[in-house]
Structure 1
Amino acid sequence: MRSDAERNRQRLVDVAREALETEPPPTMAAVARAAGVGQGTLYRNFPTWDDLVMAVHRMDVAELVDMVPGLLEREPADRALRTWLDRLAEYGRLKKGLGTAIHAAMLEQLAGEGYAPVVGAIDRLLEAGRTQGLVRADVGGEELLLMVGFLWRLELTPDRDERSARMLDVVMAGLAASTVG
């Protein structure tokens, strides 16, 4: 793909990501306009709304997974995990917005494509925490993902971020190595 075509594609995904956080979801024409490209460019890259939403989802999952090594280099494993969970909470806000933008079959595809990489990222963070003696040994990535499932159920209210942070504090306290008898 030519560099200008790649920039256009990325701009479309970035604009769609922001737009999916709004209610009601935008039209394809509005996304193209906001990205500064023609509708032909949009439809060449993303023939359907579902294709565009899936591209946003894939990019978000890749960013979540790809940020793990850098976090582990910069922070102790428990702080890296918390930082990562905060980012997951931000993604949870987007996923909440996706509910009105896509149908049930697509939700299943989104979950299927993102599940294994996300669990793998969590496992890597947990393993680093266990190695540093910061995280209890009896919790795996799938269990932690189940525990933070509340992130997708929080209503989009003004205090959502504060509520999410308090709940993630409780999760992190329960993960601390000192909580195991």
Structure 2
Amino acid sequence: MSGYPDHPSGHVSASAESGGTLRADAQRNRERILRAARDLVREPGELKLNAVAKACGIGQGTLYRHFPTREDLLVEVYRREVEDLVTAASRLLEAHRPLDALAAWFDRVAAYARVKRDVFAAVEAATWRDLAAHSLGPIGEAVELLLAAGRSDGSIRPDAEARDVIVLISWLSRLEEAEIDARGQRLLSILVDGLRTRA
């Protein structure tokens, strides 16, 4: 049985078949579970697995076959959020000029920050530290991809470094929900202006 080699909890999904593939119906259930959990993790109180199963219309047994524990599910919600954030960088660069792509990516960062804050508040400290360590590299690479494109076309200042941007955007996940909504976009807009090349 194949699983995720860097899964911080060490658990392997029981629904994985040989080669790490899932049957089509199992894959659909997995996606439904992850979408429901992502929505519910933002609700007040502890995420309940029975609430997730009810929200996506499956039995609890099906949910447990995919995610044996609550922490397994939360870890995968976060991993998927990081994956989506990272892949968004190249997609945005294909459709927009570099500075516009960076601004649009920052919009996606605000949504990521909400999920990160809620997941990290719900899992063990050792787990979130491991998650943070695993995600820093891919997110940094996505930032550098965007910055490099902007430096190349002259729209982003030549001294802009991915590490600086990571430090600045990391503060978003420390804000309360209302603050992310009220201040997050403004803070990111200020950051984009700070990265812009001055005439």
Taking structure 2 as the reference length, the TM-score comes to: 0.85
Counterpart of 1:54 (choices 75, 85, 93) is 75
Identify which of 152, 157, 182 aligns with 1:162.
182
Match of 1:115 among 136, 147, 151: 136
Confirm or deny that 1:126 pairs with 2:147: yes
The one-letter code sitting in structure 1 at the alignment partner of 2:69 is T
**8 Å CA contact retained: 1:46, 1:52:** yes
1:59-80 per-position Cα deviation (integer Å, ceiling 9, x unaligned) = 1111111111221121110110
1:147 has 2:149 as partner: no
Matches of 1:32 and 1:99, distance apart in 2:
21
Mapped contact 1:19–1:25 kept (Cα < 8 A): no
For 1:1-181, what aligned pairs fall within 5 Å after superposition? 1-157=22-178, 160-178=180-198
Query: For residues 10 and 100 of structure 1, what CA distance do their matches in structure 2 show?
Result: 23
TM (norm. structure 1) is 0.93
Q: Which amino acid is 2:197 matched to?
A: A
- Following superposition, the deviation at residue 100 of structure 1 comes to 3.1
Q: Would you say the 8 A contact 2:151–2:157 is kept in 1?
A: yes
Aligned mates of 2:87, 2:137 — CA distance in 1: 14
**Structure in which a larger fraction of residues adopt helix:** 1
Which moved further from structure 2: 137-146 or 114-123? 137-146
Gaps of 5+ in 2: 1-21
Deviations 1:124-175 (CA, angstroms, capped at 9, x unpaired): 0000001110111212212111011221122112x63231111111111111
Percent of pairs with identical residues: 38
The secondary structure found in structure 2 opposite 1:25 is coil
Q: How many residues align?
A: 178
- Structure 1 window deviating more from structure 2 (93-102 vs 131-140): it is 93-102
Q: Spell out, residue by residue over 1:33-86, the C-alpha distance to the aligned partner (whole angstroms, 9 max, x if none).
A: 111111111111111111101111111111111111221121110110111111
What is the CA-CA distance between 1:114 and the residue it aligns to? 1.1
